[in-house]
Structure 1
Amino acid sequence: MFVYFDVQHIYYLPQYIPVIEKLSNRGHQCALVFYRSQEKQFIDICETFAVEHSIKAIWLEDKSNTLDFYQGVECDWVVFGNAFLDVDKLNNKSVLMQHGIGPKSCYYDVSNTTTTVRFVEGEHRLKRLKNLYPNGNFVDSGYAKLDPIINNSVEKVDLAGLGLDKNKPTLLYAPTFYPSSIECMSDDFPECFPDYNIIIKPHFFSLSKPRYKKQKSKIMRWQKYNNVYLTNESEFNLTPFLAVADIMLSDASSAIFEFAALDKPVVWCDFYKLRWNYRGIFSYRFKARLDEDINYFHKICQRAEQFSDVVSAVQLCASESEEFRFNRKKIIEQLAGKIDGNCADRIVNYLESYE
């Protein structure tokens, strides 16, 4: 088989990588399709990634070229990490592997466009998608992004090499860009956790998009603390940091489900800096952006309604009951599917056997 992986954004790659590796190991050919309509530093990172992993890279100028390109090539499958509005015009079989499993409504909305198959995570999501789109083809494969952690093949993080103390527990703060908790966090946030290493892994947009410059300013302030490591742009893959961290702090992010799927404690920072057109009489826009799945956060996380609650929430993480952990595991099975390290195998098996 020949399979193209469409990479609109670099953060699609962690979901693709385990599947690409399985395909390659079985003798299939893969190619990555990148876009030059992004910041130069991300173009450089994508080029380096393709070279280091010996994967063919194809570059399009922007998304206006996507349809013409895929209509003009011969392949068995095209894999997308987000909705592609012209998917019904393709001559090739198509796959949707949504790049996140978070609580935003776009997780379900992207199936407005019908791919040949969409791989999903867990019975809960499978059932909802089938009800919403009865003509769609949905397969519960589990979340391939987590396979390397379960299989212990994920890149190892050397805490000492990051300037951190390997004898301290590690907090991972992994906020999304919108709606985000970053601007509501204290300027001296790292001072509240002197006995912890803190790894800050923000979304790319928080550091690269001008509209989020206030987020970047706060993040750069935190970086000055001795117990903090701020990931750089080339460290786009969250999974090595999920593996090394003991506790996660996050907000309306897919990362919460991902970390909880590893049976690790999470603090849900349920406080956000909202744009003026998402507040007051416009609050319906905020509610529309988030899906009802965010209600599961109450059952799998320690909730902080404001920054002043974060310290006590972290303390609660250290004393989670067996009952809480058991219930979290059952919920995660519904929301992330099987966490067995074989998700990519199930995906590749399906692609190989499809007729």
Structure 2
Amino acid sequence: MEEKDRKIKVLFKIGFLYHKTAFEPLIKIFEKDNQYDVYLSCKEEKAKFLGIFLRSLEGQILKRFNDEGHQVTTSERGFDVVFAGDTVTNHKELGKTVLCFVNHGSGIKNIMYRNLMSDRKTKYNIFVEGPYREKKLKEKKCLGVSKVYTVGMPKLDPLFKSKRFNRKDILSSLHLDCNKKTVLYAPTYKPTSILDLKDTLFEYTGDYNLIIKLHPYSWYGRYAPHSHHKIFEQRVVRYNHAAIVPKDEHSILPYLFVSDTMITEASSTMFEFLATGKTGIIYNLDYERLKHSDGTPLLDEDNRCFMADAFVHFSEPDKVGTAIAEALSSNPNREKQKDEM
């Protein structure tokens, strides 16, 4: 085959299964284009076995991708272009390639900047959601030889470019009331509000539907304890108005679509919910006490004041009901702030 007829080999290095949602619109575009030969890999996903041993899930995940109609690979070398949802630890093993970084979820944590700072000699083409992220990357002086491009958030394309979501169908699948307003609770795994809100969240949402969408790490016991999901599995059976999204459902998009407001503390979902135009709620954390093991801040922004004029904030767990009511009320000044952000 002549070089000019050779297809461009593209790898979507999924890393962890939940990263795939961020790539799906891109995967669809590239797979439809005959210029490209597209493959998916997933090497990092592991789960604890017997509470001690880490077991690779690569084989079963690649089978799942293959069943969905994708080409899969266990080798990540020899591709012209590699898309990653996080910084990579094996960039030399990838060989000579164009390395594209589309973050799986850009929030207010420091982790992305820390990872890039320690890998400044690797050239990434970093695609970000907007001027805020581009400014942050430059302020942190963590780019090294990498380049930044503002392109929006491909992950959210299905919310605005398709009619794939149906409110009644989604709520009915969770056995929830289609006539009620819906509250989405989407905490991150660290730092988390789970222990603070585990009881009042149910007590003060009886007039609404409550959907709980946990971070995948809160299910697998690797970076967060299994108690995270057990807390809610034990409680949803006692409250008819509440449902927990199953652990194998990684996409948050259907629940962003059906929810009238969303509660989080430091999850990247706050940016995604902002894009919907609806008002979210942020549970305030003790910013000064949240540190990495080396003493650097866990969060890049103080969540007590971040988006303060656009989203509702609260600090006391028993004020969650008041926060929900406020988020669902009309506030012209808040609408203006959301539009500006």
Which TM-score applies when normalising by structure 1? 0.80
1:249 pairs with 2:268 = no
Cα distance per residue 1:66-125 (max 9 Å; x no partner): xxx444x2x220111111144367311111111111100123233333334110121122
Aligned to 1:126: 134
Take 2:128 and 2:309, find their aligned partners in 1: how far apart are those partners? 21
Cα distance per residue 1:303-351 (max 9 Å; x no partner): 11121121111110122412211211211xxxxxxxxxxxxxxxxxxxx
Aligned to 2:216: 204
Match of 1:319 among 304, 322, 329: 329
Match of 1:31 among 32, 39, 46: 39
1:330 pairs with 2:340 = yes
Is the alpha carbon distance of 1:165 and 1:80 closer, same or farther for their aligned partners in structure 2, counting shifts above 3 Å?
same
Aligned to 1:219: 232
Aligned to 2:254: 240
Aligned residues: 315
The code of the aligned residue for 2:110 comes to S
1:289 pairs with 2:298 = yes
Normalized per residue, which structure has more helix? 1
Alignment map for 1:99-178 (pairs within 5 Å): 99-112=104-117, 113=119, 114-131=122-139, 132=141, 133=143, 135-156=145-166, 157-178=169-190
Take 1:11 and 1:213, find their aligned partners in 2: how far apart are those partners? 18
Match of 1:93 among 82, 92, 98: 98
Q: Which runs of 5+ in 2 are unaligned?
A: 1-7, 48-54
Aligned to 2:70: 55
Higher RCO (CA < 8 A, seq sep 6+): 1
Match of 1:310 among 299, 314, 320: 320
1:80 pairs with 2:84 = yes
Take 1:41 and 1:235, find their aligned partners in 2: how far apart are those partners? 19
Shift of 1:160: 1.6
Take 1:286 and 1:328, find their aligned partners in 2: how far apart are those partners? 33
Which region of structure 1 is more displaced relative to structure 2, 318-327 or 153-162? 153-162
Aligned to 1:344: none
Take 2:103 and 2:191, find their aligned partners in 1: how far apart are those partners? 19
Cα distance per residue 1:165-199 (max 9 Å; x no partner): 11111111111101000011143532321111111
Shift of 1:241: 1.0
The code of the aligned residue for 2:87 comes to A
Shift of 1:264: 0.8
Cα distance per residue 1:244-285 (max 9 Å; x no partner): 11110111100011101111111101247x9xxx959x6896
Shift of 1:29: 2.4
The 8 Å contact of residues 187 and 221 in structure 1, kept in 2 or not, is answered as no
Take 2:110 and 2:124, find their aligned partners in 1: how far apart are those partners? 22
The code of the aligned residue for 2:328 comes to A
Aligned to 1:62: none
Is the alpha carbon distance of 1:88 and 1:41 closer, same or farther for their aligned partners in structure 2, counting shifts above 3 Å?
closer
- The alignment partner of 1:193 has SS state of coil
Q: After the TM superposition, which parts of structure 1 deviate over 3 Å for at least 4 consecutive aligned residues?
A: 40-45, 153-157, 282-287
Match of 2:204 among 182, 187, 192: 192
Which region of structure 1 is more displaced relative to structure 2, 79-88 or 15-24? 79-88
Is the alpha carbon distance of 1:43 and 1:320 closer, same or farther for their aligned partners in structure 2, counting shifts above 3 Å?
farther
Q: Which runs of 5+ in 1 are unaligned?
A: 60-68, 332-355
Take 1:286 and 1:7, find their aligned partners in 2: how far apart are those partners? 30
Which region of structure 1 is more displaced relative to structure 2, 263-272 or 150-159? 150-159
The 8 Å contact of residues 198 and 232 in structure 2, kept in 1 or not, is answered as no
RMSD, aligned CA = 2.7
1:179 pairs with 2:191 = yes
Take 2:208 and 2:178, find their aligned partners in 1: how far apart are those partners? 10
